[in-house]
Chain A
Amino acid sequence: METEALQCPLKPKDFASDQEVKWCPGCGDYAVLNAVQKALSELNVKKEDVTFVSGIGCSSRFPYYMDTYGFHTIHGRAAAIATGVKVANPNLSVWVISGDGDSLAIGGNHFIHAVRRNVNMNLILFNNEIYGLTKGQYSPTSERGKVTKSSPHGTVEDPFNPAELALGAQSSFYARVPDTDVKLMTNVMISAEKHQGLSLVEVLQNCVIFNDKVHAAITGKDTKADNQLILEHGQPMLFGIDKTKGLRLNGLELEVVTLGEKGITEKDILVHDETIVNPTLHYMLARMRLPELPIAMGVIRNVGKNVYDKALHEQIKSEKTNSKYKNLNDLFLSGNTFKVS
């Protein structure tokens, strides 16, 4: 985004619209709203240059609550609509707000292609592993066997891991955050906006009504220290209350080790590099699952890659310079014309 810095930066609340927020009390969406408003204020952007585009679902009401430009669209298509917004005006800061049903079921096609093209926008994926707005059916991220209104006997399908899907589509930026950590979320949103290309931020978000505590093992007060690995670029992958647990590579597998045991020191611990182009390690981090391994949080991947909207505009610019046509009349009068008098 090419916007000049504001003289006096806007406060988070300056980004809040006058609309009453109508999410259920306790919904994880509130935390995302706060984090995004904070991030925008820290990014020092102008309200008029920001556009939120959403699909359908609880999370997709988000644009109404932001005092920016916003477009609440149709089920699953937000990424496609946002692609049009960004291509039409690359100067806008474009944010796609979507849920697991919206982006990974009905909008799966648009999701993977937006990631593949690497459109320079931010896609915030609210993952509560359930359909909230349609009142409690299983989603493409619900665990196998999940009992819901539409699966009273348990589902017989395996879920997507959004990170694997994104990395498979050659994602240039992927981050995961819990809805319980506004500070981490804010920092990740800032990194996402600064990244050139499609930044995918998956929020592990709690639905208090239809899927309460689905992420509790990861985000619970007592468990989070042991079950979350918060990644920082250039830092060793340590976690646990005293930061004594760490990750190392054992052959082709990641394993958890403890500092001080069996002669393990910090030197043995993997250091996070979000910028390595080879996605293998990012992929391994992204697919870590409890209880053997902690859940990776923070920016997992942040690499440079051709940006779709930029390349498209560069091509237009080059054609403008090189074409034999300078205006439409040149075109209309080109080729085999003939006069009738």
Chain B
Amino acid sequence: MTTELESVVIKFAGDSGDGMQLAGTLFTDTTAVMGNAIATFPDFPSEIRAPQGTVAGVSGFQIHFGTSGVHSPGDAPDVLVAMNPAALKANLHNLKPACTIIIDGDSYTKKDFEKAGFEGNPLEDNTLSDYKVIEAPITSLTKASVADLGLDNKSMVRCKNMFTLGIVFWLFNEPLEQTINFFNQKFKKKPELAQANVNALKAGFNYALTIEAIKSSFTVLPAKKQPGTYRNITGNQAAAWGFLAAAKKANKELFLGTYPITPATDILHELTKHKWSGVKIVQAEDEIAGICSAIGASFAGDVAITTTSGPGMALKTEAIGLAVMTELPLVIVNVQRGGPSTGLPTKTEQSDLMQALYGRNGECPIVVLSASTPADCFDWAFEATRIALEHMTPVILLTESYLGNGAEPWKIKLTEELPDIHPRTLDSLDPNWKPYQRDSEKLARWWVKPGTKGMEHRIGGLEKDECTGCVSHNPQNHGKMVATRQEKIDRIADFIPLQRVKGKDATKLLVVGWGGQFGILFGAVNELQKEGKDIAFTHFNYINPLPKNTAEIFAKFDKILVCELNNGQFANYLRGQFPQFTYEQFNKIEGLPFKIKDLKNKFNEILEAGNA
């Protein structure tokens, strides 16, 4: 018997090293190809290997897939894979009442319970009585399924994630071909490893079929999507591709100067695979050298980017000031993580907003943008580059761990579908040109790269004369330059789209969000709108400057609620920009995204308070 479901949340959880990220990714790839809407949330510890079997070492990968209503990776799982008691312990507090739990019985020994902090055996006391438990001797069955391939014990045990994945595939009537192809490609040169993974996968699938693990399996129908060609993509990969596309559409070469840091490093990993495109990459000695090499490359005429995360951003600060002063195009990507200091390296947060807006010495205005979903990191990388090149300014692009590592289907944009970017390049002699001459519309100076005959000039971090660019300490000139640099950024508001509101005719409550919480906020608001509540949603991607109609939108609502994963940084920013409005806040700082149910509770509370 097969039951049709609208959407399902599955969480793969196990020891760091149990291959849960891979199992989750392979399941995602298959559901994506089957045409489902998906959103994923990998959640793993920052230690390479925390002590085995402990809650600290639990690595998780959550995927939400479905026909409709998939705006986020979901609040709580419908299916939990718990490879050991620690994985169960780490997730017990957050399961749906009818959750199906798949357990490797081989790793549920007394020693394992103790390590995970259980007092007794959760399979025998009433701990799991509300759930459907599928307990299978996964480790031993996996070993049996690969026994004749001549592998060592460790390699055999390592295949247990595929046995488990096989069970999940059976549960949701998903085909195995995609995953089998993956292993045949990945282990082309080690066919015995490919075979072992395939054997384990099939064995898991057949095992579930044979024992009829639960009475019925489920089917999730494909989502209704815009026609087109899609592929699955993570935020970091999408950002990397967005930069490749932007450089191409600007007819320039791409340069990345960077230093590895979690969770931004995958942008480097992705771009370095594509040297065929001409991308020049300097993996520098530190964060400062990363951005500095990018500034040098920008001076020399390349589309320059630097990628980092919170602590790395702190180190880049002085150099960002130099890029602002010299008015060179540059994109600085900050894939935010929990802070302060080293904070929570693998967890998500939105707490670097104030740093992006103000974290420099002097009056140092800069463009700040943020992405909303994994796939739209492509668009925002592209847009950040466009603004940098067309307005001659550094741009900070904020994404989040949640976006960078998360995945969703991306409707592929071919290069011919993308708009051209028009850098303010001057590549031949203009006898009247001066380094800090500006165009009257954008106030942007010209970009003249070394090698251009007759246009030799000097720039630097010292204050410059408003036209010649020569060093100037003249007080009036400084005042004028400070104002001009601000005005240049403000005027970008004339070249970006107006802010939009999702939700018709609402007047009571406007939910305001920014960055990677888009899907979750939208999902929560959407559910209340369906219930007929007087609520609307607006999500900001242009943070500095803000869209020109922002105040106009705010004025239409009785209440404004700003929701963000920090202590209220965007709310405070809005208070400074538009002090005429009152902003309520909903904040969460736990290294985790919002949950739809918490948001709905909060929204309802405010809506009901309004009725009192």
Given A69-B458, A337-B231, also A83-B289 (CB < 8 A):
yes
Instruction: Say how far B178's CB is from chain A's closest CB, in angstroms.
Output: 7
The answer, yes or no, to whether B255 is at the interface (CB within 8 Å) is yes
The answer to whether the Cβ of B415 comes within 8 Å of any Cβ in the partner chain is yes
Question: Is B453 located at the chain interface by the 8 A CB criterion?
Answer: yes
Our pick among B275, B318, B449 for the contact of A89 (Cβ within 8 Å) is: B449
How far does the alpha carbon of A51 sit from the alpha carbon of B448 in the complex, in Å?
Answer: 13
A82 adjacent to chain B (CB < 8 Å) = yes
Interface size on B, residues (CB 8 A): 73
Q: Is A200 an interface residue (CB 8 A)?
A: no
Residue A333 is within 8 A (CB to CB) of chain B in the complex: yes
User: Contact: B322 with A91, CB < 8 Å?
Assistant: no
Interface residue? B600 (CB, 8 A): no
Known: A67-B456, A316-B280, A332-B412. A77 touches B319 (CB 8 A): yes
Contact between chains at B293 and A84 (CB < 8 Å): yes
> Which residue of chain A has the shortest Cβ distance to B303 in the bound complex?
A88
User: What does DSSP make chain A's interface, helix, strand, loop or mixed?
Assistant: mixed
Interchain nearest-CB distance for B542 vs A (Å): 26
Return A307 CB to nearest CB of chain B, in Å.
Answer: 14
- Give the residues in chain A near B295, CB-CB below 8 Å: 73, 81, 84
Write the nearest CB–CB distance from B366 to chain A, whole angstroms.
Answer: 16
Contacts of A329 in B (CB 8 A): 414-415
Q: Tell me the minimal C-beta distance from B510 to chain A in angstroms.
A: 33
With a cutoff of 8 Å between Cβ atoms, the chain B residues found around residue A132 in the complex are none
Please state if A338 and B33 are interface contacts (CB–CB under 8 Å).
yes
Instruction: Assess whether B241 is interfacial by the CB under 8 Å rule.
Output: yes
- Interface assignment of A19: CB less than 8 Å from any CB of chain B: yes
B455 proximity list for chain A (CB < 8 A): 48
Report the Cα distance A86→B451, complex, angstroms: 12
Contact B289–A77 (Cβ < 8 Å): yes
The answer to whether the Cβ of A63 comes within 8 Å of any Cβ in the partner chain is yes
Binds A, one of B9-17, B127-135, B166-174, B222-230: B222-230
A332 touches B460 (CB 8 A): no
**Cross-chain contact B229 with A337 (CB below 8 angstroms):** yes
Q: Does A64 contact B (CB under 8 A)?
A: yes
A319 contacts across to B, CB distance below 8 A: 275-276
CB distance from A332 to the nearest CB of B (A): 5
Residues of A within 8 A of B470 (CB): 19, 64
Q: From residue 284 to 341 of chain A, which have CB atoms closer than 8 A to chain B?
A: 312-313, 315-316, 319-320, 322-323, 325-329, 331-333, 335-341
Please tell me if B282 contacts chain A, counting CB pairs below 8 Å.
Answer: yes
- B49 contacts partner chain A, Cβ-Cβ < 8 Å: no
Q: Are B275 and A316 in contact (CB under 8 A)?
A: yes
**Does B458 lie within 8 Å of A72, measured CB to CB?**
yes
Q: In the complex, which of the residues B288, B412, B459 contacts A80, with contact meaning CB atoms closer than 8 Å? A: B288
**Taking CB as reference atom, which chain A residue is nearest B449?**
A89
Are A83 and B415 also in contact (CB < 8 A) when A89-B301, A337-B229 are? no
Is the pair A72, B460 in contact by a Cβ cutoff of 8 Å? yes
Nearest chain A residue, comparing its CB with the CB of B231: A337
Taking a contact as CB atoms under 8 Å apart, the answer to whether B461 and A84 are in contact is no
Interface assignment of A46: CB less than 8 Å from any CB of chain B: yes
Interface assignment of A113: CB less than 8 Å from any CB of chain B: yes
Indicate if the CB atoms of A327 and B415 lie closer than 8 Å. yes
Cβ of B294 under 8 Å from chain A: yes
For A80, what are the chain B residues with a Cβ–Cβ distance below 8 Å? 284-285, 288-289, 292-293, 296
B241 near A340 with CB under 8 A, answer no
Point out the residues of chain B lying under 8 angstroms from A67, CB to CB.
456
Task: List, in ascending order, chain A residues with CB within 8 A of B228's CB.
Answer: 339-340
Q: What are the interface flags for A52-94 relative to B under an 8 Å C-beta threshold, 1 for contact and 0 otherwise?
A: 0110000000011011111111110100111111111101100
* Contact residue among A69, A71, A109, A322 (Cβ-Cβ distance under 8 Å from B289): A109
Rounded to whole angstroms, the CA-CA distance of A189 and B140 in the bound complex is 71
Assuming the contacts A329-B415, A332-B413, asked whether A49 and B280 have C-beta atoms less than 8 A apart, the reply is no
Chain A residue numbers with a CB within 8 Å of B248 are 328
Contact A338 B231 (CB under 8 A): yes
Please tell me if A17 contacts chain B, counting CB pairs below 8 Å: yes
For the complex formed, measure the closest distance between the CB of B311 and the CB atoms of chain A, giving whole angstroms: 16
A49 to B450, CA, bound (A): 6
Contacts of A54 in B (CB 8 A): 460
8 Å CB contacts to A: which residues of B410-468? 412-415, 449-462
Cβ–Cβ contact A81 & B296, under 8 A? yes
Whether A110 is near chain B, meaning CB under 8 Å from some CB there, is yes
A233 at the interface (CB under 8 A from B): no
Known: A48-B454, A71-B458. A84 touches B227 (CB 8 A): no
Cross-chain contact A337 with B460 (CB below 8 angstroms): no
Q: How far is the CA of A313 from the CA of B302 in the complex (A)?
A: 14
Which B188-232 residues sit within 8 Å CB-CB of chain A?
222, 225-232
Q: Kindly identify which residue among A64, A89, A320, A332 contacts B450, using a CB–CB cutoff of 8 Å.
A: A89
Of listed B222, B300, B326, residue having the most chain A CB within 10 A: B300
Q: Is the CB of A331 within 8 A of B449?
A: no
Q: Is the CB of A340 within 8 A of B225?
A: yes
Q: How far, in whole Å, are A134 and B222 apart by their CA atoms in the complex? A: 68
C-alpha spacing A51/B255, complex, angstroms: 19
B475 contacts the other chain (CB 8 A): no
List, in ascending order, chain A residues with CB within 8 A of B257's CB.
Answer: 84
B30–chain A nearest beta-carbon distance, Å:
9
B225 shortest CB reach to chain A, Å: 5
Q: Report B-chain residues with C-beta under 8 Å of the C-beta of A73.
A: 292, 295, 322, 460-461
A339 touches B300 (CB 8 A): no
A47 within 8 A of B: yes
- A113-B259 Cα distance, complex, nearest whole Å: 14
Is there a chain A Cβ closer than 8 Å to B277's Cβ? yes
In the complex, how many angstroms separate the beta carbon of B605 from the nearest chain A beta carbon? 39
Instruction: Find out whether the CB atom of A320 lies under 8 angstroms from the CB atom of B276.
Output: yes
- Per-residue interface assignment for chain B, residues 266 to 297, with 1 indicating a CB less than 8 Å from any chain A CB and 0 otherwise: 00000000111111111011101100111111
A84 to B225 Cα, complex, angstroms: 43
Given contacts A69-B450, A84-B297, contact A110 B289 (CB under 8 A): yes
Q: Which 7 A-B pairs have the closest CB atoms?
A: A84-B296, A72-B460, A323-B276, A84-B293, A70-B458, A88-B300, A80-B292
7 more CB-based (< 8 A) A-B contacts, given A71-B326, A338-B231: A70-B457, A71-B459, A72-B461, A81-B295, A92-B300, A316-B280, A332-B413
23 contacts between A and B (CB under 8 A): A48-B452, A49-B451, A53-B296, A63-B458, A64-B471, A70-B456, A70-B459, A73-B295, A80-B288, A81-B296, A82-B296, A83-B289, A84-B296, A84-B299, A91-B451, A109-B285, A316-B279, A327-B415, A332-B231, A336-B231, A338-B229, A338-B231, A340-B35
